[in-house]
């Protein structure tokens, strides 16, 4: 179950990222750590690489906005990074950019067990995700897809 503050934190992070020329890729609030950790992944809106200086600069700007919002009232660690190879695909842009790339799909099967498939990403639309597994197209209903991440070929 997601943390109740996650939607508000996501909205704040999205707004600050957009104002700073970034897109927010993911937000995680790890409350099982002490102190809790807020992890944000960002990327440039123009698709250029995110540098360490970019992460540090965004950390300062977002940290100030987070403090002003008073959303987190206890001690926390703020971690800013950029997504890299092997990371989870989440946005429409990700799925368009990485068409033809090798992916691993975690999905629930008819008996509600989790299964993993590897293949080449073909398409994701409103209804389904399609991957090519050794020349055969596998269609997985979007409601059954748990996660899609880039992999290295031949792993």
Taking the chain (155 residues) in runs of 10, the rounded mean pLDDT of each run is 88 97 92 92 84 94 97 95 75 90 90 90 96 96 92 62
Q: What is the CATH code of the structural domain delimited by 92-150? A: 2.30.30.100
Does 92-150 match 6-81 at the fold level? Answer: no
pLDDT of 17 reads 97
Radius of gyration, CA atoms only, the chain: 18
pLDDT of 90 reads 84
How many other CB atoms sit within 10 Å of the CB of residue 149?
14
Assigned token pair, 41? 């992944």
pLDDT of 33 reads 87
pLDDT of 85 reads 52
Fold of 6-81: GMP Synthetase; Chain A, domain 3 (3.30.300)
Assigned token pair, 133? 């597994």
Residue 127, burial from CB neighbour count under 10 angstroms (0-12, 13-18, 19+): exposed
pLDDT of 155 reads 45
> What does the domain layout of the chain look like in residue ranges?
6-81, 92-150
């Amino acid at each position: 179950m997601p943390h109740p503050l996650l939607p508000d934190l996501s909205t704040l992070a999205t707004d600050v990222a957009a104002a700073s020329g970034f897109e927010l890729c993911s937000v995680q609030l790890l409350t099982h750590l002490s102190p809790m950790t807020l992890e944000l992944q960002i990327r440039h809106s123009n698709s250029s690489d995110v540098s360490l200086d970019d992460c540090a600069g965004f950390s300062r700007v977002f940290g100030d906005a987070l403090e002003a919002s008073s959303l987190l009232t206890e001690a926390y660690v703020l971690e800013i990074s950029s997504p890299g190879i092997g990371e989870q695909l989440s946005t429409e842009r990700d799925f368009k950019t990485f068409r033809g790339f090798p992916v691993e799909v975690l999905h629930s099967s008819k008996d509600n067990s989790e299964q993993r498939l590897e293949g080449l990403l073909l398409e994701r639309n409103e209804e389904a995700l399609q991957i090519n597994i050794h020349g055969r197209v596998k269609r997985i209903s979007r409601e059954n897809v748990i996660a899609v991440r880039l992999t290295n070929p031949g792993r």
